[in-house]
Amino acid sequence: MGVRKKAAATAGAASRKGHKVFLSIAKKKLRVGFFSFTGCEGCVVMFTEILNTKYKEWFEKVEFGYACVLQSKNDMRGLDVAFIEGAIGSDVEARMLKEVRANCKKLVVIGSCAINGRPSDQRNYFDAGQMSEIKFVLDRFHLYDKVIPANAVVKVDAEVPGCPIIEEKFIEMMESCIKEFSEVKKA
Ligand code: SF4
């Protein structure tokens, strides 16, 4: 049930019991985070391109809790939505992704690396000779032999396709999240 319907149902039940209840719908900013894992960061670059046209409008409605591409002070606590770019290539990344999941209500993967690992999973298809050539790099940085998508580590709620992300699809996703999270009822 949506927030407005819930508010109306609560008010109706209360008034049937003889209590006067005043409910109003207040707006709060959508609190989002952007997190980059194994990839070229082209999806986050595309997000900054989208801000060229959407920033003024979204500034009124969106708070950037965590976005290293935009600011130096970042805090992932209490996120409504976390946007995840890139595939997962190490335990360090897997742990970070789990921490993000624990701090957000909705986790959205953006771009094909995060959705299915490609194209950042090229080493998954290397033969034994190629793997032996890159072994020192994997060992040096404690990387997995095979790169995995985000949904192999945490529950994913939604995705924005593309490589990089398709602009219109990202805008649709951000605007549906604004609608989903920005209305709170006040008694
Ligand atoms: S999906 Fe494409 S653009 Fe996005 S991070 Fe991966 S390689 Fe880069």
Give residue 45's domain range.
Answer: 29-182
* Confidence band, pLDDT 50/70/90 cuts, at residue 8: very low
* Confidence band, pLDDT 50/70/90 cuts, at residue 177: very high
Cβ of 154 closer than 6 Å to ligand 1, yes or no, is no
What is the arithmetic mean of pLDDT over 20-45? 85
For the CA of 46, the nearest atom of ligand 1: 3
Structural domain includes residue 13: no
- Give residue-wise pLDDT tens across range 115-127: 999 999 999 999 9
Structural domain includes residue 95: yes
Cβ of 40 closer than 6 Å to ligand 1, yes or no, is yes
For position 162, which CATH number holds? 3.40.50.700
Q: Which of 113, 121, 123 best tests ligand 1's pocket when mutated (most atoms within 8 Å of CB)?
A: 113
Structural domain includes residue 145: yes
Q: Are 54 and 167 in contact (CB under 8 A)?
A: no
Q: How much distance in Å is there from the Cα of 111 to the middle of ligand 1?
A: 6
Distance (Å, whole) CA 64 – CA 59? 9
Q: How much distance in Å is there from the Cα of 41 to the middle of ligand 1?
A: 6
Q: How much distance in Å is there from the Cα of 154 to the middle of ligand 1?
A: 19
Residue ranges of alpha helices (H) inside the chain are 3-16, 42-59, 91-102, 112-116, 128-140, 167-182
Structural domain includes residue 123: yes
pLDDT of 11: 44
Count the domains in the chain: 1
Q: Which of 69, 120, 148 best tests ligand 1's pocket when mutated (most atoms within 8 Å of CB)?
A: 120
Distance (Å, whole) CA 175 – CA 71? 22
What is the arithmetic mean of pLDDT over 138-154? 98
Structural domain includes residue 12: no
Q: How much distance in Å is there from the Cα of 18 to the middle of ligand 1?
A: 58
Structural domain includes residue 44: yes
Q: Are 31 and 65 in contact (CB under 8 A)?
A: yes
Structural domain includes residue 187: no
Structural domain includes residue 46: yes
What pTM value is reported for the model? 0.85
Cβ of 42 closer than 6 Å to ligand 1, yes or no, is yes
Q: How much distance in Å is there from the Cα of 150 to the middle of ligand 1?
A: 13
- Give residue-wise pLDDT tens across range 85-104: 999 999 999 999 999 999 99
Cβ of 162 closer than 6 Å to ligand 1, yes or no, is no
